[in-house]
Amino acid sequence: MAVIRFIFDGVREMFRGSREYWMWLAALSVVIIYGAWRYSGQITEGLVVTGMSDQVSWGFYISNFAFLVGIAAAAVLLVIPAYIFDRKDIKDVVLVGEGMAVAAVTMAILFVIADLGRPDRLWHLMPVIGRFHWPVSLLAWDVLVLSVYLLLNLAIPFYVLFMHYRGREPNIRLYFPFVVVAMFWAISIHTVTAFLFSANPARPFWHTSLLGPRFIASAFASGPALIIITLQTVRNVTSYHVSQTVIDTLALIMTTALQISLFFVGAELFTDFYNEGSHAASIHYLFFGLSGFASLRMWIWVALVLNVIAVVILMIHPLRQKTLLLNIACVLAFVGIWIEKGMGLVIPGFIPTPLGEIFEYAPTGTELSVAAGIWAFGILVFTLLAKAVIAIKLGKISYTLKLSYSY
Amino acid sequence: MTSRILLSMVCTACLISVPAGAQETEAPDQQPTLRFEGYPGARDFEVVPRKDKLFFYPCTQCHRFLEPNPEVRELAAPHDIKLEHGRGRIWCLSCHSLENRDNLRTLLDEPVDFDDAYLVCGGCHANRQQDWYFGVHGKRLANWQGERKLYNCTECHDAHSPAIKPRNPKPPPPVRAGLERVPGAEYEQHPVWETLEEQEDQ
Amino acid sequence: MSRDNGRRDGHSKFDQARRNILRAIGLGAAAAVAQPAWGGQTLQDAFASFFQKDYRRMSAEEIEAALERIERNAAARYGVEIDCQNTPPQPGVVFGYAINISRCRGYRDCVYACVQENNLGRDSQVQYIRVLQLEQGDFNLEHSDHYYDPETVPVEGKHYLPVQCMQCDDPPCVKACPVEATWMEPDGIVVVDYDWCIGCRYCMAACPYWARHFNWTVPEIPAEEINTNTHYLGNRPRPRGVVEKCHFCVQRTRKGRQPACMEACPTGARIFGNLLDPNSEIRYVLENKQVFRLKEDLGTEPKFWYYSD
């Protein structure tokens, strides 16, 4: 059957390539295996090997989770211009963006699983055989929307690529409704993740209606940053053509999003510090330290500075046009938002505790290793998917090709 | 007779009814002691006995040989207790019965058994006694449901020095295994008037 | 088994060998199932506990089996015979608690009585009750000292506030749980099914009173200090990787006994009882004293009051 051959050819393509390609896969595998080994240590000893405590009960894992859901949502920034505005240049790369979404959602789910105290009880989440506390629990919502988003971002490209592999035009009327669903769904995954945090009046740092908008804005700044770097890499290491207009459009979207994101940060700072009450204790800890504790202070100010430099570069048209400066801005924005939305969001929510205690958190070697392993796994997933996608789009593998292992 | 009417008038507010014959002077051993008749609303209860925990009880084993001496004075051993109760307004025989040392006495000189010591305390500390009857002061033994056994006042409060003394606390909470607590800056409370006084001085 | 040339009743040597091997495998399998090898459990127990349903959907027989598994696990882990029960809630009872903060002197007797009664891990260092030391006239929890350790208490110019699970009537933790491992029982106690919890710790983020605690490691309890009178939803030995919290000593209170913290408090500062009984001590407090609750503005409706007199 054609589908079987499609999958077979695709997978075979993933594991075929130059020496540099194999070295890249090997390097990623080393990190993944090391992370898996450290995770097995966590399974044996328990979460006591992490730096989390009753006081700060979520740490590095959930920080990365929140950030990665944003990256996954940002794939929609390619989907909308490609299918709604009929941008042909963006349509050519939209599958790469969806591949990135798959990798990001996979990483997000892995981070949640790594954070669980009893991953062996994952089946308890399933409806009917377990107890799925939907629609009341925001975490249940998150599981639902992320799973469906993963399916959508696997199914739609699967169909489109399969059609391409068969040498046929994909039936727009068949997959367009799913594309529309996926667009709204992308916004929803990140809004649900924001609501996961903002639904808790117990944590005044998160309990703000601005958290949802902040998440979307920072996602739409950090996601395109990653996509811009990735597309340039694709352009350099493969023979796939990525039009410069794609990069320009993404850079423009990123500029606006980053400006809005920084505006939101400013709004938070004003609201909390103008008349400072106990509601502002967490943000005071984050930016200025509290009672002698200030382990996140340097990080957040660095993040702020990186974001400001990035937005200045992006806002100035001639600077944004220069590839090197654009790439610098992308890296700065990506790192800055990773800090601000990762540790800079999750940890201060727990400091001070609802009983006023200040107990700090620092990730341990296990957490850093497992996180690195998961990131490497996500990059591996993306690499493999992109390899197959590009090969199919370039026609290197197709159903009609008699010699499937040419070149 | 008049004393009974007086007693009834005084006690209407507390609704303690006076058992018949409480004022007759009889031989010390046979005189019935005051019993609690109950507040409306306060449930039946029992009091955890005290007599078995009193070192010198029964007091009459010595005092039946001694002349009762009502003069206010400092007592010698074995009763050379420093009374830290009432700040000089009361002394031993304010609570202990002169005629029968096996009993205590109320303000109206009614005999009270040592196991019902709360009736004596309630003579002055009426509000606290009401709280105790209804279970919001003091301790109840073992159960929240069913049999209601309360501890006497003197179970916790030494009647001669009732203020609870400071004692050492149990250890502070630990932190999670593998982590260490870094003590932060201690919060120093400055009352508002201190800041204002400082500003005044400047 | 006769050994005449390895033949018996016309069967070949090969058949005999095969039969021996199968017998050995059978015995070995039976041994593997029966021997405690799977994390201290028998294979049968390990399978059964993996597939165990959540508390509210188990039948009476399944709960009985679960209780027995818990008792066997405790015997394997601590070498102690415990009694794990499933006392149901009493009808017409909803528990309420009040603390007289003018009586609390910060002794922490309640904290350690709870640790002993509820088999809290000495190594995982969970304590359900935390006593805060506050400055006179100051009720700001951010100014509190959790780790006070003076020579004597009460310290001059300080007052004390014990905090534990408030057993809210509108609990944010119950809403948060993605697998419904925590819920409010009919007698008002918010309980956790330790065999259903997946350890995501979202409930800990949702609780405004810092009342929920996590077993970061396996709770270690010295065998001689184990309280053998346990309840499935209460103080039975818990596994690693699950959340737990104060449950108003469900193993005691459903049988009419006071919770351990109340029994331990020497000053009688703690009042506990049935909110639905108009003659109870807790009702008298609520109707006659100036009571308040912590973080009332969050709308969680705690069933834990404070008052002073």
Distance from CA of A358 to the nearest CA of B (A): 8
- Look at residue A89 and tell me if it is in a domain: yes
Quick check: B136 and C266 CB within 8 A? no
Burial of A187 (0-12, 13-18, 19+ CB in 10 A): middle
Closest by CA position to A16, among listed A394, A269, A305, A391: A391
- Using CA atoms, how far apart are residues B46 and B115, in angstroms rounded to an integer? 10
- What does pLDDT average to in each consecutive run of 10 residues of chain B (202 residues)? 47 40 42 74 84 88 88 86 90 90 91 91 92 90 91 92 92 91 80 81 76
- Using CA atoms, how far apart are residues C202 and A196, in angstroms rounded to an integer? 9
User: Tokens 């990035």, residue?
Assistant: A310
Q: Where are the alpha helices (DSSP H) in B50-185?
A: 60-63, 92-95, 118-124, 126-133, 153-156
- At residue C3, the pLDDT reads 47
Say if CB A399 and CB A165 are below 8 A apart: yes
Token pair of C246 as six digits: 């104060």
Closest partner CB to B172 (pick from C149, C265, C273)? C149
Catalogue the E-assigned strands of A248-293: none
Distance from CA of C281 to the nearest CA of B (A): 5
Closest partner CB to A139 (pick from C144, C202, C209)? C202
- Look at residue C167 and tell me if it is in a domain: yes
A-chain CB neighbours of B185 within 8 Å are 291-292
Residue A140: domain span: 2-393
- At residue A47, the pLDDT reads 95
Please tell me if residue A360 touches chain B, with a CB cutoff of 8 Å: yes
Say if CB A59 and CB A361 are below 8 A apart: yes
- Look at residue A245 and tell me if it is in a domain: yes
Quick check: A355 and C130 CB within 8 A? yes
User: Tokens 């050379």, residue?
Assistant: B80
Residues forming a β-bridge with B149: B46
- Using CA atoms, how far apart are residues B45 and B28, in angstroms rounded to an integer? 27
CA Rg value for chain B: 24
The tally of domains found in chain B comes to: 1
| Domain CATH code at residue C153 | 3.30.70.20
- Look at residue C232 and tell me if it is in a domain: yes
- Look at residue C76 and tell me if it is in a domain: no
Q: Which residue of A has its CA nearest to B182?
A: A359
Say if CB C73 and CB C41 are below 8 A apart: yes
Closest partner CB to A46 (pick from C143, C216, C298)? C216
For each of chain A's 407 residues, which pLDDT tens digit applies?
A: 888 999 998 999 999 899 999 999 999 999 999 999 999 999 999 999 999 999 999 999 999 999 999 999 998 899 999 988 989 999 999 999 999 999 999 999 999 999 999 999 999 999 999 999 999 999 999 999 999 999 999 999 999 999 988 888 889 899 899 999 999 999 999 999 999 999 999 999 999 999 999 999 999 999 999 999 999 999 999 999 999 999 999 999 999 999 999 999 999 999 999 999 888 999 999 999 999 999 999 999 999 999 999 999 999 999 999 999 999 999 999 999 999 999 999 999 999 999 999 999 999 999 999 999 999 999 999 999 999 999 998 888 887 765 555 44
pLDDT in tens, C105-132: 999 999 999 999 999 988 767 999 999 9
| Domain CATH code at residue A23 | 1.20.1630.10
Q: What is the largest CA-CA distance in chain A?
A: 73
Strands B103-105 and C182-184, by their bridges, are unpaired
Residue C104: domain span: 95-307
| One-letter amino acid for residue C11 of the chain | H
The tally of domains found in chain C comes to: 1
Strands C212-214 and C304-307, by their bridges, are unpaired
Q: Which residue of C has its CA nearest to B134?
A: C281
CB pairs below 8 Å between A and C: how many? 149
Quick check: A139 and C175 CB within 8 A? no
- Using CA atoms, how far apart are residues C89 and C256, in angstroms rounded to an integer? 11
Residues forming a β-bridge with B112: B104
Q: Which residue of B has its CA nearest to C154?
A: B166
pLDDT in tens, C133-148: 999 888 999 999 999 9
- Look at residue C72 and tell me if it is in a domain: no
Closest by CA position to B136, among listed C275, C105, C307, C276: C307
Q: Which residue of A has its CA nearest to B181?
A: A359
- Look at residue B193 and tell me if it is in a domain: no
C-chain CB neighbours of A353 within 8 Å are 210
- Look at residue A398 and tell me if it is in a domain: no
- Look at residue C192 and tell me if it is in a domain: yes
DSSP element (H, E) containing C190: strand C190-192
Say if CB A234 and CB A240 are below 8 A apart: yes
Please tell me if residue B176 touches chain A, with a CB cutoff of 8 Å: yes
B-chain CB neighbours of A292 within 8 Å are 184-185
DSSP element (H, E) containing A255: helix A244-273
C-chain CB neighbours of A282 within 8 Å are none
Closest partner CB to C125 (pick from B168, B176, B191)? B176
Quick check: A49 and B178 CB within 8 A? yes
B-chain CB neighbours of C268 within 8 Å are 137-140, 151, 156
- Look at residue B138 and tell me if it is in a domain: yes
B-chain CB neighbours of A48 within 8 Å are 176-178
* C51-62 exposure pattern, b = at least 16 Cβ within 10 A, e = fewer: ebbbbeebeeee
- At residue C30, the pLDDT reads 63
Q: Which residues contact A149 (CB under 8 A, 6 or more apart)?
A: A72, A101, A105, A182, A185, A186, A189
Mean pLDDT of C232-245: 94
Token pair of C84 as six digits: 């794990």
Burial of A335 (0-12, 13-18, 19+ CB in 10 A): middle
- Using CA atoms, how far apart are residues A67 and A335, in angstroms rounded to an integer? 11
Say if CB C273 and CB C142 are below 8 A apart: no
Residues forming a β-bridge with B141: none
Quick check: B144 and C262 CB within 8 A? yes
The tally of domains found in chain A comes to: 1
- Using CA atoms, how far apart are residues C147 and C153, in angstroms rounded to an integer? 13
| One-letter amino acid for residue A120 of the chain | D
Phi-psi region of C285 (alpha: psi -120 to 50; beta: other; left: phi over 0): alpha
- Look at residue A106 and tell me if it is in a domain: yes
The DSSP line for C18-60 is HHHHHHHHHHHHHHHHHS--BTTB-HHHHHHHHTPPPGGG--H
Q: Which residue of C has its CA nearest to A43?
A: C241
Q: Which residue of C has its CA nearest to B42?
A: C279
- Using CA atoms, how far apart are residues C273 and C295, in angstroms rounded to an integer? 22
- Look at residue A216 and tell me if it is in a domain: yes
C-chain CB neighbours of A58 within 8 Å are 201, 205
- At residue C124, the pLDDT reads 67
- At residue B177, the pLDDT reads 87
DSSP element (H, E) containing A332: helix A323-341
Closest partner CB to A358 (pick from B175, B176, B184)? B184
- Using CA atoms, how far apart are residues A158 and A171, in angstroms rounded to an integer? 13
- Look at residue A209 and tell me if it is in a domain: yes
A-chain CB neighbours of C179 within 8 Å are 121, 124-125, 130-133
- Look at residue A327 and tell me if it is in a domain: yes
Name which of C204, C244, C258 to mutate to probe chain B: the one with the most chain B Cβ atoms within 10 A of its Cβ.
C258
| One-letter amino acid for residue A274 of the chain | Y
- Look at residue C50 and tell me if it is in a domain: no
pTM over 0.80: yes
Looking at the predicted structure, is the pLDDT value of residue C194 above 90?
yes
- Look at residue B126 and tell me if it is in a domain: yes
- At residue A19, the pLDDT reads 94
Burial of B6 (0-12, 13-18, 19+ CB in 10 A): exposed
B-chain CB neighbours of A353 within 8 Å are none
Quick check: C274 and B145 CB within 8 A? yes
A-chain CB neighbours of B181 within 8 Å are 359
Q: How many CB atoms lie within 10 A of CB C73?
A: 21
Closest by CA position to A265, among listed A216, A212, A201, A214: A214
Q: What's the whole-number average pLDDT of chain C?
A: 90
Closest partner CB to B134 (pick from C143, C154, C281)? C281
- Look at residue A399 and tell me if it is in a domain: no
Closest partner CB to A117 (pick from C141, C176, C242)? C242
Residue B118: domain span: 38-66+82-167
- At residue B1, the pLDDT reads 47
Closest partner CB to B179 (pick from A53, A292, A293)? A53
pLDDT in tens, C3-53: 444 445 555 777 777 777 777 676 666 655 555 555 667 888 888 889 999
Question: Taking the mean position of all CA atoms in its chain, how far away is CA A225?
Answer: 11
The DSSP line for A125-188 is GSTTTS---TTT-HHHHHHHHHHHHHHHHHHHHHHHHHHHHTT----HHHHHHHHHHHHHHHHH
- At residue C13, the pLDDT reads 73
